[in-house]
Amino acid sequence: MDNSVKAEACHTDDNSTSCRKSHHPERVKKDLTTRLNRIEGQIRGIKGMIEKDVYCDDVITQLSATQSALNSVAKILLEGHIKGCVVDRLSEGDNEVIDELVVTIQKLMKK
């Protein structure tokens, strides 16, 4: 992801700080959607493998590949969040975003 995504990734609605939305450029949304569609197909394939009693090691290999693909999506979103939301909120003096970011990273590291 390049710096042109920086300020476009996340946005706080001016009417309410509790209603935050992300605003990714169309090319980023398209990339994420393509990746998620591929992951969805992988999940369907894994389900089919289970139904066909495919050897466990082969299923685990596919699960690992799917988890890796999900991690790639998370990395793209996290990068946009840090370069956009976090930087913007810090520049506005909102230091609470650091605590929020720590919790988000902890959630990602649980996996």
How many of the other CB atoms lie within 10 Å of CB of 50? 11
Task: List the domains of the chain with CATH numbers.
Answer: 26-109 (1.20.58.1000)
Cα 43 → chain centroid:
17
Say if residue 11's pLDDT is above 80.
no
> 0.85 cut: is pTM over it?
no
Q: In terms of DSSP H, where are the helices of 5-95?
A: 26-51, 56-81, 87-91
> pLDDT for 16-62, tens place per residue?
445 677 778 899 999 999 999 999 999 999 999 999 999 999 999 99
> pLDDT for 71-104, tens place per residue?
999 999 999 999 988 999 999 999 999 999 999 9
The pLDDT, as a whole number, for residue 15 is: 44
Both tokens of 84, joined, read 């956009």
The pLDDT, as a whole number, for residue 19 is: 62
Instruction: Assess contact for 24 and 80: CB atoms under 8 A.
Output: yes
Task: Give dist(CA 61, CA 68) in Å, integer.
Answer: 11
The pLDDT, as a whole number, for residue 20 is: 73
